[in-house]
Amino acid sequence: MASQKAWAVVAGVGPGTGASVARRFAQHYSVALLARNRANFEPVVDEINAAGGKAIGISTDTSDGKSVKAAFEQLQKEIGSASIAAAIYNVGGRFVRKPFLELTDEEFESGWEANGRGAFHFSQAILPLLLKNTNAEYPPTLIFTSATAAMKGSALCASFATGKFAMRALAQSLAREFGPKGVHVVHAIIDGVIDIERTKEWKFDHPEAKIKPEAIADSYWYLHTQPRTCFTNEIDIRPAVEKW
- Which residue from 1, 2, 50, 240 is in contact with a copy of itself, where contact means CB under 8 A? 240
- Nearest CA to 6 out of 20, 27, 21 is that of 27
Footprint on residues 83-112 left by a copy of itself (CB under 8 A): 99-101, 103, 105, 108-109, 112
**Does the footprint of a copy of itself cover residue 74 (CB under 8 A)?**
no
* Touching a copy of itself, residues 114-133 (CB under 8 A): 116-117, 120-121, 123-124, 127-128
d(CA 82, CA 76): 9
Of 61 and 109, which has the nearer Cβ to a copy of itself?
A: 109
Q: Does 169 bind a copy of itself (CB under 8 A)?
A: yes
Question: Could you tell me the smallest distance in angstroms from the CB atom of residue 71 to a copy of itself?
Answer: 16
Between CA 132 and CA 128 the distance in angstroms is 7
Site for a copy of itself (CB under 8 A): which residue of 1, 80, 201, 229? Answer: 229
For the CB of residue 168, give the shortest distance to a copy of itself in the complex, in Å. Answer: 6
142 alpha carbon, distance to own chain's centre: 8
Q: Give the C-alpha separation, 141 to 90, whole Å.
A: 14
Positive or negative CA dihedral for 61, 152, 191, 180?
A: negative
Residues contacting residue 54 through CB under 8 Å, at least 6 positions apart: 2, 3, 5, 26, 30, 31, 48
| Phi, psi dihedrals of residue 152, rounded to the nearest 5° | -145, 125
Q: Does position 179 bind a copy of itself by CB under 8 A?
A: yes
Q: Which of 17, 57, 165, 224 binds a copy of itself (CB under 8 A)?
A: 165
Strands 7-11 and 30-35: parallel
Of residues 132-161, which lie at the interface with a copy of itself (CB under 8 A)?
A: 139, 149, 152-158, 161
Task: Specify the residue, 13 or 211, whose C-beta has the smaller distance to a copy of itself.
Answer: 211
Phi–psi pair at 65, nearest 5 degrees: -55, -40
Q: Which of 7, 89, 138, 178 is the binder for a copy of itself (CB under 8 A)? A: 178
Q: Does 239 bind a copy of itself (CB under 8 A)?
A: yes
Please report, as residue ranges, which positions from 2 to 61 form the binding site for a copy of itself (by CB under 8 A).
none
